[in-house]
Amino acid sequence: MNRHRQIGLEQRGGDDVGRDPRCMRTDELEQLGHARVSPLRALRLHCLDCCNESAQEVRLCTAVDCASWPFRLGKNPWRRKLDPQERAALQARLVRKGASEAAAAQKTGSEIPASDFDRLRVPNEIAVDLPPTKRGVAEGGAS
Ligand code: SF4
């Protein structure tokens, strides 16, 4: 058992309950043995834990109703990579949007937050959400 386990618990009505991780410091999470991983990676690790660390068993998992099942191989199947044309179009659209926001900010004298400038950059591994019809899913989504 994790000797720092108590860090993740609090008392409610005389019983131990889990603390809200949104209110915890990162060093507290680390003391509990958690690493800084993406939610997708966390799902993959959860699946490996579920299958006694066997990647082959995760691959073969038949629990198709499990909420983790679509993500069990560490990828988000609801997203796909852009082809070069789509990537260029998205980049141009972001630049246009950034330019119009910068012009508006100049008119009003307001500042553009750093995060708005960050949006102008298109990362190499960009992915987009597809409508259900393009994913091969029947209208109304999978049941
Ligand atoms: S998808 Fe399969 S391997 Fe992953 S948590 Fe669910 S049951 Fe376990």
> Residue 110's domain spans which residues?
79-135
CA of 87 to the centre of ligand 1 (A): 33
| Whether 61 and 93 share a structural domain | no
Measured by CA distance, the residue closest to atom 3 of ligand 1 is 47
Identify the weakest region by mean pLDDT among 27-36, 80-89, 119-128: 119-128
Centre of ligand 1 from the C-alpha of residue 138, in Å: 24
Residue nearest to atom 4 of ligand 1 (CA): 47
Pocket test for ligand 1, best of 58, 59, 62 (most atoms within 8 A of CB): 58
What's the DSSP call for residue 74?
S
What would the pLDDT profile of 22-48 be if each residue is shown by its tens digit?
999 999 999 999 999 999 999 999 999
Same domain, 125 and 83: yes
pLDDT at 105 over 90: no
Cβ of residue 55 lying under 6 Å from some atom of ligand 1: no
Q: Which residue in the block uniquely carries the two structure tokens 């100049």? A: 106
83 and 66 share one domain = no
pLDDT at residue 19 in the model = 97
**Domain co-membership, 83 together with 29:** no
For ligand 1, what atom is nearest to the CA of residue 69? 1
pLDDT at 82: 85
Ligand 1 pocket, residue 47 CB under 6 Å: yes
Higher-confidence position of 99 and 143? 99
The residues near 26 (Cβ < 8 Å, ≥ 6 apart) are: 36
| Distance between CA atoms of residues 77 and 88, nearest Å | 22
CB of 58 within 6 A of ligand 1: the answer is yes
User: What pLDDT is recorded for position 142?
Assistant: 39
Query: What is the per-residue pLDDT for 133?
Result: 53
Name the pLDDT band for 100 (thresholds 50, 70, 90): confident
Instruction: Examine the domain organization and report whether 43 and 62 are in the same domain.
Output: yes
Is the per-residue pLDDT at 75 higher than 70?
yes
Question: What average pLDDT score do residues 130-135 get?
Answer: 50
* Residues 6 or more apart whose Cβ sits within 8 Å of residue 97: 119
Give 74-77 contacts, CB < 8 A, sequence gap 24+.
74/40, 74/41, 74/43, 74/44, 75/40, 76/40, 76/127, 77/135
Question: Do 122 and 67 reside in the same domain of the chain?
Answer: no
- As a whole number, mean pLDDT of residues 113-137 equals 50
66-74 mean pLDDT: 97
Number of domains in the chain: 2
Q: Look at residue 81 in the predicted model and tell me its pLDDT.
A: 82
57 and 18 belong to one structural domain: yes
In a domain, 128, yes or no: yes
